[in-house]
Amino acid sequence: MSFKVVALAAASAGAGFEAVLIERREPRAHDVVIDIAYTGICHSDIHQAREEWGRAIFPMVPGHEIAGTVSAVGDGVTRFKLGDRVGVGCFVDSCRECASCRAGEEQYCLKGTVWTYNARDYEGSETYGGYSTRIVVDENYVLRIPDNLGFDVAAPLLCAGITLYSPLVHWGAGPGRKVAIVGMGGLGHMGVKIASAMGAEVTVLSHSLAKQDDGLRFGASHYHATSDPSTFSDLAGTLDLIVNTVSANLDIDAYLNLLTRDGSMVVVGLPPEPYEIKVGTLTSRRRSLSGSNIGGIHETQEMLDFCAERAIAPEIEVISGTDVDAAYERVVRSDVRYRFVIDIATLAQANL
């Protein structure tokens, strides 16, 4: 029998969030039921709830930075037991057979990754995310949260953390490498912390110098305002790797010009509009422009363990379920220090 849980749903694109009851499926043999403690607010939630990436499924219950406790398990579950501390990120299933799935890169599943919300599972049912009190997920798509990471700070690692960790590993951030993070929001501030923990020399490229003290405290060695044209002349040809987390369109060419010979820019920010680039900026120094999407299950676990071992945690502002609309406005204005996290206990009290 399916069961009902409280959730925050947007009825249509751009509508405010309201507490409603949604159905979760009866746990199958390999499912775990998770009582959610905290869920982070990612800018991707806003893009989708406002239909900025194209047609979306409504009502929508966003949330793909989920942390909580296992409260029930199916008969066939072997990896988790009642009371385990767990997390769920951006996807809840994949085909498990294609080359990407076999390589542990389920986020690039060739049949189509099943996203945690605003998607349909392989049976055709809508998926609903973590702005809710409980979720049912196959154990193979559930992460283990180390004991020394609180649920509130663990939640944002499930998207913001892995989205920066994965390209930093893939493109070899480490000692002797000059890495820039563009945009110091939810993703960007995790990038600064993780890249500096990996031993890279980190530069932040931000709108202004308003968050400079924070950036240096998070481990950056340099901090520049992109509103100052001298940033682009002073740093020209000096950076080995740029990870671009900006949610809006940028003069991408100006940033590519900061790369060394053979340097790479990896885009993780997902603005709705296309970028324009001059190909000559790439060819003149054999530079690369690439993209990266979150990370696979194995790598996400590796990232959680890495952060727990090094005491790396996001900077968060905990809010109640009634504050989500206001929080969205603040994220869009870049007025976030540095991730909003919903205390899901406040939803359980909703008067339904």
**Interacting residues with ligand NAP (CB under 6 A):** 42-44, 47, 159, 163, 183-188, 206-207, 245-248, 250, 268-270, 292-294, 331, 334, 336
Shorter beta-carbon distance to ligand NAP: residue 70 or 157? 157
Burial of 31 (0-12, 13-18, 19+ CB in 10 A): buried
Name the segment binding Zn ion (CB under 5 A); options: 66-74, 152-160, 252-260, 326-334: 152-160
Q: How far apart are CA 118 and CA 15, in angstroms?
A: 15
- Interacting partner of 95 out of Zn ion, ligand NAP, none (Cβ under 5 to 8 A depending on kind): Zn ion
Selection from ligand NAP, Zn ion, none that 109 binds (CB < 5 to 8 A by kind) is: Zn ion
- Minimum CB separation of residue 337 from Zn ion in Å reads 18
Report d(CA 103, CA 338) in Å as an integer.
32
Q: Let me know the angle formed at the C-alpha of 352 by 8 and 124, rounded to the nearest 5 degrees.
A: 50
Residue 7 structure tokens = 């959730």
Nearer to ligand NAP, 140 or 334 (CB): 334
The residue (of 73 and 327) whose beta carbon lies closer to ligand NAP is 327
94 binds Zn ion (CB under 5 A): yes
Q: Is 101 in the site for Zn ion (CB under 5 A)?
A: yes
Helices 186-197, 160-170: axis angle to 10 degrees equals 40
Q: Considering the complex, what minimum distance in angstroms separates the CB of residue 141 from Zn ion? A: 12
d(CA 4, CA 14): 25
Q: Which residue is nearest to ligand NAP (CB)?
A: 185
**Binds 265: which of Zn ion, ligand NAP, none (CB < 5-8 Å by kind):** none
Residue 101 interaction partner, one of ligand NAP, Zn ion, none, beta carbon < 5-8 Å per kind: Zn ion
Name which position in 5, 159, 204, 342 contacts Zn ion (CB under 5 A).
159
Is 107 a binder of Zn ion (CB under 5 A)? no
**Cα gap 347→19, rounded to integer Å:** 7
Q: Is 270 in the site for Zn ion (CB under 5 A)?
A: no
Shortest distance, position 10 Cβ to Zn ion, whole Å = 16
The answer to whether 218 and 196 have CB atoms below 8 angstroms apart is yes
Residue nearest to Zn ion (CB): 42
Kindly tell me which residue out of 24, 38, 44, 211 binds Zn ion, with binding defined by CB under 5 A.
Answer: 44
In angstroms, what is the minimal distance from the CB of 306 to ligand NAP?
Answer: 18
Q: Which does 206 bind (CB under 5 to 8 A by kind): ligand NAP, Zn ion, none?
A: ligand NAP
Which parts of this chain interact with Zn ion (CB under 5 A)? 42, 44, 94-95, 98, 101, 109, 159
